[in-house]
Amino acid sequence: MLNFSDLLPYTDQLLKGLWVTVELTVYATLGGVAIGTAGAAGRHYGGNLLRGMIGMYVELIRNTPFIVQLFFIFFGLPALGIKLSAWEAGLIAMLINLGAYSTEIIRAGLAATPKGQVEAAKVLGLSPQQAFFRVVLIPAFEKIYPALTSQCIIVMLGSAVVSQISVMDLTYAANLIQSRNFRSFEVYLVVAAMYLVLAILMRQAFDALGRYLFRHRRSS
Amino acid sequence: MALVNIDKVHKYYGDLHVLKGVDLKIQAGEVVSIIGRSGSGKSTLLRCMNGLEAYQEGAIILDNKEVSSDERQVRALARSVGMVFQSFNLFPHLTVGENVMLAPKLVLKQSAEDARKMALDKLTKVGLAEKFDQYPDKLSGGQQQRVAIARALAMSPKVLLCDEITSALDPELVGEVLKVLEELAAEGMTLVLVTHEMNFARDVGDRVVFMHQGKVWETGPSAEVFANPSTPELRSFINAVL
Amino acid sequence: MIEFSNWDLLRNLLLAARWTVLLSLTAFIGGGLVGLLLTAMRLTRRRALHWFVRLYVEVFQGTPLLMQLFLVFFGLSLMGFDISAWAAAAIALTLFTSAFLTEIWRGCIDTLPKGQWEASRCLGLSFTQTLKNIILPQAIRVALAPTVGFSVQVIKGTALASIIGFVELTKAGTMLNNATFEPFKIFAMVALIYFLLCYPLSLVSQRLEKKFNGAR
């Protein structure tokens, strides 16, 4: 029979693990979207060489599993003399991963910007940088915001894998607890539910931010 | 020296020869309507005048500066030349006021206070001061176009280029936009309009430029040109549109 | 320590990659079938079924694939089934795939204009006739590109089966790494093999999308 009471003594571990997952997700989301914005700008405005390099980065990451990227960074890079803690390796893997996906997503948003908007900024005398940040960026984000939200949540859920290099995240806590109390199914059920709640909260946070960023769309 | 000097300008899109040696002078304070069939090169000429399109031969001198499509040049020109587009091109994520204040703040480095004063002034001129805090999506097409005019005026340009600015509007909204142009003309603003509004060209414009096959085919004072077209091409064009 | 030549490493990885391919195919086909069933449930007029599908999709899209693997693996053994890592991975990936495909296909059906349903009804077509003759032929065209695109996610998802001990490409990589201590080389090779499996599918998906968008 299912028995959840054996989990209670481990509440602390679970909360600590949850915090690590939340922390990684926040950093990865902020950094990953920043990388994606830079990557998309480079792909949209850059020269052939830059565009080709960014394209290779995006395809390489999107066509290999996150866990292999993680292992390559954590186990492979020290061979080149780059020593990383598990936490650092996990975060870097998440950043690189989300960076690639959001590059592709945001690029689509930039491509969908009406040409007239850019021309209007140009004839008003705005520099390309000013036009990008003041005129192009927010409407571009608006177009791809749902896709970007989903991708950030996918990266949060995917972060469960960092437990495999001993980052003490939520999944690591689950593994630890089930090895002590032998209630593996119950533990994973509870932790899965915690991830689900996290995913729902994250979507709501994104929606709230979207309502602020795109307030011009609010019907009044 | 005229405010705008266009001298033997040629423009190619690949193999397509769009402008075939255009000559045109526009004096400060003039209201010039450029008319002609679609494909005659009139919009292209307008877009060459502020560097949105590059031309390959000849020269355009505007306010004593040579126009080129070089990025810096286009930006420098923004202080002399304003432009209003057929499709408004307001920035959807900025309020009406923010749309108007954006360039004065970023390009002219005006203080927030000065920019606001300027924006209110220009919006009052187009009759939309009370829409200052609204977003463009909430406005009618005619109102959006008037905001676009205010946005261009806020840079205090010496000449305002209007590219078929009433063509995207519902017929009942055309009047309010033309009325704003009429007031600007009365104040002595230099206006260059590519337009299909023949009545406006005739009644408000000082001069009409008829473009045909990439050239200035015929030009002269509005009333005269409409009453006595001297080329058969213009005659048939006027018959077709009036 | 055993000496492995590069060729030995590659050969071992490629042999293990067969299991990656097999698991991917199983999950994709199984997930497609379950996904069809779920999509059909969504198209009926039973509210309860709609709710069930929504909940199903929400749960599988809102929890880590790794948790789903663990829950199937430990849950079935708790119920007294002696389950292999292979079976657990196949089941979990099938469920995971079905949820995503259902959601993708829902989007495709929803993009069709309402007028298509209304016009069909005015012509006197029944619900199933409309579905079979009008909606599905159009929806399948739209669905092709994202469905092929998702197969890439399935292949990458199979890498997690390594964590419950199923020896596929990633697991083979970690095992070889433990024997040779050449992580840089080995995980680069592993990544390369995944890339060679996934990239052609990504390209096909992109082509299909362009073709469809161009035709519209």
Q: Give the residue extent of every domain in chain A.
A: 5-217
Nearest to C148 by CA among C18, C63, C34, C32: C32
Residue B192 parent element (H or E): strand B190-194
- Per-residue model confidence (pLDDT) at position B33: 95
| CA R_g for chain C | 21
CATH number of the domain to which B123 belongs? 1.20.1580.10
Are A192 and C68 within 8 A, CB to CB? Answer: yes
- DSSP letter at B156 equals -
Nearest to B41 by CA among B211, B171, B238: B211
When CB atoms are compared, the residue of C163, C174, C198 closest to A63 is C198
Q: How many folded domains does chain B comprise? A: 1
Nearest to C64 by CA among A70, B30, A197: A197
Tell me whether C177 touches chain A (CB under 8 Å). Answer: yes
Burial of C54 (0-12, 13-18, 19+ CB in 10 A): middle
Dihedral angle, C-alpha B101, B107, B113, B115, nearest 10 °: -40
- Per-residue model confidence (pLDDT) at position A220: 45
- Per-residue model confidence (pLDDT) at position B23: 94
| Residues pairing with B12 in the sheet | B17
Are B102 and A128 within 8 A, CB to CB? Answer: no
When CB atoms are compared, the residue of A120, A126, A214 closest to B89 is A120
Q: Which two tokens stand for residue B144?
A: 């959006």
- Per-residue model confidence (pLDDT) at position C216: 43
- Per-residue model confidence (pLDDT) at position A41: 96
- Per-residue model confidence (pLDDT) at position C2: 63
Task: Give the pLDDT band (50/70/90) at residue C214.
Answer: low
When CB atoms are compared, the residue of B76, B135, B155 closest to A216 is B135
- Per-residue model confidence (pLDDT) at position B72: 78
Residue type, C186: I
Q: Which residues of B make CB contacts under 8 Å with A?
A: 50, 52, 71, 74-79, 81-83, 85, 87, 89-95, 102-103, 106-107, 135-138, 148, 151-152, 155
d(CA B77, CA A124): 9
Can you say whether the dihedral through the CA atoms of C92, C26, A157, C61 is positive or negative? negative
Does residue C1 register a pLDDT over 70? Answer: no
Specify the 3-state DSSP secondary structure of B11: strand
Q: Which two tokens stand for residue A170?
A: 């939520």
Tell me whether A119 touches chain B (CB under 8 Å). Answer: yes
β-strands B81-84, B159-163 pairing: parallel
Long-range contacts of A127-131 (CB under 8 A, 24+ apart): A127/B75, A128/A45, A128/B71, A130/B106, A130/B107
Which tens digit of pLDDT belongs to each residue from B133-188? 999 999 999 999 999 999 999 999 999 999 999 998 998 999 999 999 999 999 99
Does residue B40 register a pLDDT over 50? Answer: yes
- Per-residue model confidence (pLDDT) at position A95: 98
Q: Which two tokens stand for residue B8?
A: 């033997």
CB neighbours (10 Å) of residue C64? 26
Asked if residues C173 and C131 have their Cβ atoms less than 8 Å apart, the reply is no
Specify the 3-state DSSP secondary structure of B21: strand
Are A72 and C78 within 8 A, CB to CB? Answer: no
CATH number given to A5-217: 1.10.3720.10
pLDDT-flagged residues of chain A (< 50): 220
Nearest to C23 by CA among C145, C170, C205: C170
Containing structural domain, residue B147: 93-156
Which tens digit of pLDDT belongs to each residue from B94-145? 999 999 999 999 889 999 999 999 999 999 999 999 999 999 999 999 999 9
Specify the 3-state DSSP secondary structure of B57: strand
> Does residue B108 lie within any of the structural domains?
yes
ipTM of the complex: 0.92
Which tens digit of pLDDT belongs to each residue from B47-80? 999 888 999 999 999 988 888 888 777 778 888 8
User: Edge-to-edge strand order for the sheet containing B16-26?
Assistant: B16-26, B4-13, B57-62, B65-66
Domains of chain C: 6-215 (1.10.3720.10)
d(CA C190, CA C198): 12
What are the DSSP E strand ranges found in B74-118?
81-84
Are C74 and A67 within 8 A, CB to CB? Answer: no
CA distances for B48 relative to A59, B25, B30, B42, angstroms: 40, 14, 19, 10
Task: Give the pLDDT band (50/70/90) at residue C36.
Answer: very high
> Does residue B103 lie within any of the structural domains?
yes
Look up tokens 């927030």; give the residue. Answer: B112
